[in-house]
Amino acid sequence: MTPLRICLIASSRFPVAEPFVGGLEAHTHALAGALKARGHEVSLFAGPGSDPALGVHELDVAVLSVSQLARADVGAAPEEWMREHHAYLSLMLDLSRTGADRFDVVHNNSLHHLPVAMASAIEVPIVTTLHTPPTPWLESAMILAPHESHFVAVSSSTSESWAHAVPSTVIMNGVDTGLWRPGPGGERAIWFGRLVPEKAPHLAIEAARLAGIPIDLAGPILDRAYFSRCVSPLLGEGVRYLGHLDHAQLVDVVGSSCVTVATPVWDEPYGLVAAESLACGTPVAAFAMGALPEIVDDTCGRLAVPGDTASLAEAMKESTRLSRDDARSRALEFCSLDRMVDQYERLYLGLAGTRAA
């Protein structure tokens, strides 16, 4: 395999470091690490506090000087939005000047619109991975510059949701099946991820109580008001919040659980939690939203009617009776990090070869 010089653009909002705030940061960390292990030269542009082992170039999210007159404008954007805009604008202008000399391919793994909108200014092939359903800023950039990037979607459902704006190649996310190792199972269910309304952990608690299965929750509390209003009052009586755990802690907890519960009330673009759980041999009970039906089949879990906690409770009970070996096999065959990186490598090499020609 020919070593490549890869510019990997990450989110500026959260660090690419453990404990990960969300699936996007975990995915970026795994991808960067795997590419480096295969001999590629990876330059990761990410938020402050990211893992230095990845050779991080920090995005200058805190460096912004705007005059008081500009800040006084009644139409001024929020300060956080301006910091992110400044960081990505600075990066893209730098790539427009020197990127062709430094990189063979640019992979935009962020959610920001500027790497898409400014792609034509860079003399390097650009890959943009679609990690979300359509958003206004990103869709606007695509419609105006749809042919300047090659687009990848993390699932078929995500690809379909963007089809009105751009065509995309499907490369489903993968997880490190060496890190996420099989566990013995146990008596308790697990829900893990960002504790936010769109992931609805309170519905997992309601379903677990209907099923008569105790449940643990783990993850960062990113919406304190939601947690205080909808989750905290439900703790106790078989329900525990374990805090924001790192990967090693999660592997132990997930591997010692009888079922993982996934409760998105939006179209989950992929569902990394499901893949990580299957790698641990833990079956998954989930609302049939977004890409989860692409990951969870009858061998490794059960899908429930979206938003229906009674249906989810039945899915939980049925999932606990499934084979943990079959769940692990599903992850090895369908959700592996090696499979994902193989596909990205082929894409990078094809685009770099086109540039060289």
Residue spans of the domains in the chain: they are 5-174+336-356, 189-334
Residue 65 has what pLDDT?
57
Average pLDDT over residues 93-117: 95
295 pLDDT higher than 50:
yes
74 pLDDT higher than 50:
no
288 pLDDT higher than 60:
yes
Fold agreement between 5-174+336-356 and 189-334? yes
Residue 63 has what pLDDT?
52
Q: Which of 28-37, 88-97, 236-245, 346-355 has the lowest mean pLDDT?
A: 346-355
299 pLDDT higher than 60:
yes
Average pLDDT over residues 319-323: 98
Please answer whether residues 204 and 286 qualify as being in contact, where contact means their C-beta atoms are separated by less than 8 angstroms.
no
Spatial separation of the C-alpha atoms in residues 31 and 176, rounded to whole Å: 10
CA nearest neighbour of 296 among 265, 266, 259: 259
Residue 73 has what pLDDT?
45
Q: Which of 116-130, 137-151, 206-220, 239-253 has the lowest mean pLDDT?
A: 137-151
- Please state, for a pLDDT cut of 90, what percent of the chain lies above it: 85
The pLDDT-based confidence of 76 (bands split at 50, 70, 90) is very low
User: From 3.10.20.600, 3.40.50.720, 3.30.420.40, 3.40.50.2000, which CATH number describes the 189-334 domain?
Assistant: 3.40.50.2000
76-80, 118-122, 336-340: which is most confident: 336-340
Residue 110 has what pLDDT?
95
Average pLDDT over residues 165-171: 95
Residue 55 has what pLDDT?
85
Please answer whether residues 292 and 271 qualify as being in contact, where contact means their C-beta atoms are separated by less than 8 angstroms.
yes
User: From 3.40.50.620, 3.20.20.80, 3.40.50.2000, 3.40.50.80, which CATH number describes the 5-174+336-356 domain?
Assistant: 3.40.50.2000
Average pLDDT, the chain: 92
Residue 260: its H or E element: strand 259-262
Residue 148 has what pLDDT?
78
If one compares 87 and 4, the residue with the highest pLDDT of the two is 4
Average pLDDT over residues 203-218: 98
68 pLDDT higher than 60:
no
If one compares 148 and 177, the residue with the highest pLDDT of the two is 177
To 10 degrees, the CA torsion angle through 160, 345, 24, 245?
Answer: 130
The pLDDT-based confidence of 71 (bands split at 50, 70, 90) is very low
Spatial separation of the C-alpha atoms in residues 288 and 46, rounded to whole Å: 32
